[in-house]
Amino acid sequence: MAISAEEIFETLGMVHAQHLDIRTVTLGIDLHPCAGPDVRQVARQAYERIMRLAGNLVKVAGEVEADYGIPIVNKRVAVTPVAWFAAACRTEDYHPIALELDRAARELGIDFIGGWTATVEKDLNTSSRTLIRCIPRALAETQRLCSSVNIGTTRAGINMDAVALMGQVIKEAAELTADSGGSACARLVVFCNAVQDNPFMAGAFCGIGEGDCSLSVGISGPGTVRAAIQTLGRSCDLLQVADEVKRVSFKITRAGELIGRECARRLNVPFNIVDLSLAPTPAPGDSVGDIIEAIGLDRVGGPGTTAALALLNDAVKRGGAMATNHAGGMSGAFIPVTEDATMARRAAEGSLVIEKLEAMTSVCSVGLDMIVIPGDTTPETISGIIADEAAIGMVNKKTTAVRVIPAPGKRAGDTVSFGGLLGAGPVMAVNPHSCAVMIRRGGRIPAPLQGLSN
DSSP β-bridge partners for residue 285: none
Find the radius of gyration of the CA atoms of the chain.
Answer: 21
Secondary structure (3-state) at 220: coil
Cα separation values, 274 from 208, 228, 255, 288, 336, Å: 18, 22, 10, 19, 20
DSSP reduced 3-state for 120: coil
The confidence score (pLDDT) of residue 12 equals: 54
Dihedral class, residue 181 (left if φ above 0, else alpha if ψ from -120 to 50, else beta): left
**321: enclosing H helix or E strand:** helix 305-323
Other residues' Cβ atoms within 10 Å of the Cβ of residue 72: 22
**CB contact set of 97 (below 8 Å; sequence gap of 6+):** 39, 42, 43, 46, 82, 86
Predicted pLDDT at 166 = 97
Distance separating alpha carbons of residues 376 and 408, to the nearest angstrom: 7
Distance between first and last Cα of the chain: 36
Cα 296 to Cα 172: distance, rounded to the nearest angstrom: 41
Rounded distance between C-alpha atoms, residue 11 and residue 214, angstroms: 26
Instruction: List, for the chain, all residue ranges whose pLDDT scores fall below the cut of 70.
Output: 1-19
Four-residue CA torsion sign, 351, 353, 359, 364: positive
pLDDT by residue (tens digit) across 180-191? 999 999 999 999
The confidence score (pLDDT) of residue 8 equals 53
Residue 16's pLDDT is what? 44
Distance of CA 235 to the CA centre of its chain: 35
Closest CA to 70 of 320, 267, 257: 257
Task: Output the CA–CA distances (angstroms, integers) from residue 61 to 25, 65, 78, 215, 258, in the order listed.
Answer: 8, 6, 16, 11, 12
